Amino acid sequence: MSPSDKICDQNSGFLNQFCYNNPVSPKGPGTEKMDQLIIPRAEHSISRRMIDEEALRVLYRLHRHGFLAYLVGGSVRDILLGKTPKDFDVATNAHPHEISALFKNSRVIGRRFRLVHVFFKGGKIIEVSTFRSRSEFEEVQTEKGDIIRTDSFGTPAEDALRRDITVNGLFYNIADFSIIDYVGGMADLERQVIRTIGDPDERFQQDPVRMIRVIRHAARTGFSIEGQTYQAIFRNREEIRKCSPSRLRDEFLRDLKEGAARSSLSLMLQTGLLFSLFPGLERALGRGGLSEKKSRGFFLSLFDLVDQLFKTGRQVTESILLALLLTPFLRAVTPQHPFLGKREKYIYWAQSIHWAIHEILTPFSFPRGAKEMASQILIAQSNLRKSIKNGVIPKRLRMKKYFKEAVLLFGIEAEAKGEKVPRILQNAVSADLLPWWPKKLKTRDQRLRERDVPQTGVQESGRKTTLSAHPNRPLAGEEMQSSDPGKTGVSLLHE
């Protein structure tokens, strides 16, 4: 039974009544008319055992001092879906200075909208925010461009309505263990739908980054994007260029690092949002018949493998992610030139990489170090192919700080193409670099030693009996002292 089926079983009567009495408008939940839905503890699946201990301590301390204390956002959604939340966020009607006074192990952060971080052992942080009436990125400005309000404290209902999507607008009330739903989030969890809160065109124009977040949550959950919301992404995708480059960079990289990169990029390709973010990629992945289908398939296969790496606990650096992002573009703009010599081809390849990084990545304020490393990793692919052809990897290449990541990129590309990585490369790095490689590979020297000195594996009193490769050779030194006088050619070697 899927997590959504469990939600249906546990809340079916309550939700069916809610859906019939509160139909969702074509533009999303009727934010002005939406009634508060309170689901008592007996009719939902969230238990305090599922909530982080430190988060419970924060909730209870706020509650004991007379404040409202709600668990909010993705943590409520994830628990209802049967997942373990990464973070537990708390919202309250206490103001930042009041929260800080309750928790000595806390710090107020933020300029426009102040939050409180409560610190616990092991580096754990519980973020506590005051109920707000609008998003951080919906600013109220004068004609001169000055912000006339910094903090916009509000009610719980206003705080729910300012959020991006309905399934993230659910609150868990520690006072009576109920779920409070102002936005139709429980109904959309049952329907497995991602929907904006309010009119999607208006919400995307207020903050275009919401389009990335809608796609992210659809990719993570496997839910479908509600029709009006999906069409609004088409209509407003060019608005994304109005956002801060550094903010777009952070949001985009987050999509690649959470195990759902393939699904996110697939939805970005379908809606055209990827080309609004990176116009240069349209040359390689845009509409062009069979070549488009092949290029997109290869591109998505690369990030499907990235998802596998993250899910198995392996770290993939930003430089590798950027190199993979550029790979289909470089394949499109750097065709093989038979009239160029080897040296000229190498120079042409290196210059193409530098140009692609400047053309595609520079506008988004990616760290200089990550871009330089991505450049070195991509250029090294030519050196790796040459080493494979020659049958030896030069020591100067193996000693480069980017060598391991260059082999990692080579291995990901090879797997996406359905090719095998030559053993010369596999043996040059750790055997567990990629999960689809054999567990242990033996070097040529190891195989030769095993052929010359075979082991029987017989154990005698904690010692291993080993047959000499040359039974007629006289024993000398330690071999004579440790051997059995009645069995020439047999030595007992201590492990």
Share of the chain above pLDDT 70, in %: 76
The CATH number of the structural domain formed by 203-288 is 1.10.110
- The mean pLDDT value for 429-438 works out to 82
- The mean pLDDT value for 149-154 works out to 69
| Candidate from 60-69, 331-340, 347-356, 458-467 with smallest mean pLDDT | 458-467
- The mean pLDDT value for 344-359 works out to 86
The pLDDT of residue 436 is: 80
| Candidate from 241-245, 305-309, 345-349 with smallest mean pLDDT | 345-349
Q: How many CA atoms does the CB half-sphere of 92 hold within 13 Å?
A: 32
Break the chain into its structural domains and give their ranges.
1-198, 203-288, 318-444
Phi and psi (nearest 5°) for 70? -120, 140
Structure tokens at 38: 């309170």
Residue 80 has pLDDT above 60, yes or no: yes
Write out the catalytic residue numbers: 87, 89, 164
pLDDT-derived band at 449, boundaries 50, 70, 90: low
Measured CA to CA, the distance from residue 115 to residue 293 in angstroms comes to 46
The pLDDT of residue 482 is: 42
pLDDT-derived band at 448, boundaries 50, 70, 90: low
pLDDT-derived band at 342, boundaries 50, 70, 90: confident
In tens, the pLDDT along 126-136 reads 999 999 987 65
Amino acid, res. 207 = D
The pLDDT of residue 437 is: 78
Q: Ramachandran region of residue 128, left (φ > 0), alpha (ψ -120 to 50) or beta? A: beta
Q: Are 230 and 266 in contact (CB under 8 A)?
A: no
pLDDT-derived band at 120, boundaries 50, 70, 90: very high
Q: Which pTM was predicted? A: 0.78
Measured CA to CA, the distance from residue 348 to residue 337 in angstroms comes to 10
Measured CA to CA, the distance from residue 105 to residue 375 in angstroms comes to 43
> Which of 13-17, 70-74, 359-363 is predicted most confidently?
70-74
Rounded to a whole number, what is the distance in angstroms from the first to the last CA of the chain? Answer: 52
Report the candidate in 17, 10, 71 with the shortest Cα–Cα distance to residue 43.
10
Residue 149 has pLDDT above 60, yes or no: no
* Residue tagged 């079916």 (tokens): 12
Residue 441 has pLDDT above 60, yes or no: no
Residue 35: how many other CB atoms lie within 10 Å:
12
- The mean pLDDT value for 202-220 works out to 96
What average pLDDT is seen over the chain? 82
Looking at per-residue confidence, does 61 or 343 come out higher?
61
- For the chain, counts of helices (H) and of strands (E): 22, 13
In tens, the pLDDT along 379-426 reads 999 999 999 999 999 999 999 999 999 999 999 999 999 998 899 998
- The mean pLDDT value for 26-31 works out to 40
Residue 494 has pLDDT above 80, yes or no: no
The pLDDT of residue 442 is: 53
The pLDDT of residue 185 is: 96
Measured CA to CA, the distance from residue 229 to residue 217 in angstroms comes to 13
* Residue tagged 């004579």 (tokens): 480
The CATH number of the structural domain formed by 1-198 is 3.30.460.10
